Structure 1
Amino acid sequence: MQAYLFVHFKEKRTPDGEQVYFGVSKDGFYWEEVNDGNPILWSYYGDKGVRDFTITRTKEGKFFILATDLSLSYGMLNQYQHSWDKISRNGSKCLVLWESDDLIHWSEQRMIKLGDEDFGCLWAPDLIYDKKNDDYVIHWSSSHSCNNYGEKGIYYSRTKDFVNFTEAKVLYRKEDSGVIDSAMYEEDGKYYLFLKSEKNPARIILMESENITGPFEKIEEFDNSMESLQSGQYEAPTAVKLEDGRWCLFLDFYGCSAEEQGYVPFIAEKMSTGRFMRSDKSFTFPYGYKHGTILTITMEEYESLKAYKKMPSEY
């Protein structure tokens, strides 16, 4: 029997919101807080805040968390001067990384520089294992000097050891708008890439490819599934394959006050169909989870996380 871990942050104006939080579930539907709803990890380097997490379990059994190096709590009042454009152009060229053998004991925070000076801020990393190359593809969104830091694209880098990383390359650009918040999954040998399209349409889209680095083609049926959603109100797609074989897609709803924001679930029999049905009534959350990723875990790991407590003096 499998369980689930949801790594996320909280939408708050205070710095404690932009840290690493865990939620767990036995079935992927009923979610519970970990550590009494307090942070698991705290960022002390870079912008001193982290958002937009991804987590993976490597084939050797190690766990890695990657995150955007960004604190709106600190930065908006200081170096970014209340300007999203300044963040986009001048934000961190690094992602934040932690590693663990057991989900309980974590390494010291590391800053990994994947963008050179032509990049703007590196946003919302995601990770996927490439069976053909026996390495890991890290992808993220960023603006770039090539178009004067205009519409964002998706870039990627490869690593085998999370120490050495290849030079960043373009994974996907959309001709008529920027794209952000990439999340990729494999099903039956094909790769499926969720993206937030910033316009045309201003909603989540789904792409597919025979290869992990593309080229990607749009799944039109998914657009039909999303038609009823208000444009420009959902972001940060993350999905998990449930134990019964169905896929659950979570979209982060932000068209409301910070206190009401959080994930909305959709269910599909298969990713390839593109047909996802909204399923709010089947799910419960202890509070609004913000931009994160779900990892399948064992019941033993679930029990360890449920029992986990971290004293304030341990941060």
Structure 2
Amino acid sequence: MGAYLFVHFREKTTPDGEQVYFGLSGDGFKWEAVNGGKPVLTSTLGECGVRDHVIFRKKDGGFIILATDLSLANNFATKYHSDWKEVNHNGSPYLSKWESEDLVHWSEQELIKLVDDSFGCVWAPEIIADEENGDYMVHWSSFNTENDPDYTAIYYAKTKDFKTFSKPEILCSKKNTGIIDSNIVYADGYYYRFIKSDFEPNHIMLHRSTSLIGEYERMPAFDEEIEKEELGQFEAPTCFKLSDGRWCVMLDYYGCDKDKQGYIPFVTEDISTGRFVRSDAEFLFPYGFKHGTVMSITDDEYERIKGAFGV
């Protein structure tokens, strides 16, 4: 696989920003707008907006997109009274889902519910294959009144078909602070887990473990690099392997005006060290991609998407 697909949304004040956008790249750094920078898929269910997308290649060769069912453009000032706490506690418990066999033709949008009424908004779904058990794990961040009504934690559910899901369980939590935006990749026997911490520290953290669901150790070299940056301004990590063997984690920089927000790449020569170095000079975006996921694709898939939607 030599190309990449980045599924994301755009930070705008109008509802068209909170939809499904595609970006393409031949190397993981130089990105092209797809479909003229307009949505490829549009939400017509739930809040009629989607954020925090994940795209995933299933073992049968098909693809799935999950996203947070949320439209701040439509509802932040009205339904949520311009209050983030209301969004977190009373936002949608559903995820939006699309499926495809070829990345061009997509199923009708479907709303799926993984949680009961003790949960608040279901934020930022991510998917990883469980290598030990042969199924998939969907993980996300939420408030839960039964576990901790004050702080978000990371929860997970298991599935084999993305139709039925196990009962949600806590994947990880942090004392006296919320954690959000988990992203997990598997490399050389280890699971590497990126998480955004709200306080102490107020930045992205990296942990690793030999077990997907188990004890993780924190990687201090990642802290050393991220602490060189302005703290509290990055979220939504998405990590992927580059074609030259290096690993890249894209961090979404939100500490500025909307039209300047977007992803910044950090690259490591060896993921086992945890040392990701900021690498702005190697990347280019046509506009600010917001909270999404990078997935490796084949050259044929790249050409198929390009042919169907244009770049």
Within 1, Cα distance between the matches of 2:146 and 2:220? 30
Within 1, Cα distance between the matches of 2:214 and 2:177? 18
Is 1:255 aligned to residue 255 of structure 2?
A: yes
Within 1, Cα distance between the matches of 2:83 and 2:162? 32
Q: Which residue number in structure 1 is paired with residue 51 of structure 2?
A: 51
**2:75 partner amino acid:** G
Helix, strand or coil for the counterpart of 2:46?
A: coil
Structure 1 runs not aligned, ≥5 long: 311-315
Mean CA deviation greater in 72-81 or 143-152: 143-152
> Aligned pairs, how many?
310
Within 2, Cα distance between the matches of 1:136 and 1:182? 15
Deviation at 1:304, TM superposition (A): 1.4
Q: Which residue number in structure 2 is paired with residue 34 of structure 1?
A: 34
Q: Which residue number in structure 2 is paired with residue 72 of structure 1?
A: 72
**1:31 partner amino acid:** W
Helix, strand or coil for the counterpart of 1:307?
A: helix
User: Does structure 2 conserve the Cα–Cα contact (< 8 Å) formed by 1:120 and 1:149?
Assistant: no
**1:185 partner amino acid:** V
Q: Which residue number in structure 2 is paired with residue 289 of structure 1?
A: 289
1:197-250 CA-partner distances (Å, limit 9, x unpaired): 001010000011111112222111110111111111000000110111110110
Q: Which residue number in structure 2 is paired with residue 95 of structure 1?
A: 95
For residues 163 and 69 of structure 1, do their structure 2 counterparts lie closer, same or farther at Cα, with a shift above 3 Å needed?
Answer: same
Deviation at 1:309, TM superposition (A): 3.1
For residues 284 and 48 of structure 1, do their structure 2 counterparts lie closer, same or farther at Cα, with a shift above 3 Å needed?
Answer: same
Within 2, Cα distance between the matches of 1:243 and 1:87? 39
Is 1:229 aligned to residue 229 of structure 2?
A: yes
Q: Which residue number in structure 1 is paired with residue 118 of structure 2?
A: 118
Within 2, Cα distance between the matches of 1:200 and 1:163? 37
Is 1:192 aligned to residue 192 of structure 2?
A: yes
User: Does structure 2 conserve the Cα–Cα contact (< 8 Å) formed by 1:265 and 1:280?
Assistant: yes
Q: Equivalent residues in 2 for 1:18-29 (5 A)?
A: 18-29=18-29
Q: Which residue number in structure 1 is paired with residue 271 of structure 2?
A: 271
So what's the TM-score if we normalise by structure 2? 0.98
Q: Which residue number in structure 2 is paired with residue 313 of structure 1?
A: none
Deviation at 1:147, TM superposition (A): 5.2
Helix, strand or coil for the counterpart of 2:223?
A: helix
CA-based RMSD of the aligned residues comes to: 1.1
Q: Which residue number in structure 1 is paired with residue 217 of structure 2?
A: 217
**1:255 partner amino acid:** G
- Name segments (4+ residues, structure 1) moved above 4 Å: none
Structure 2 runs not aligned, ≥5 long: none
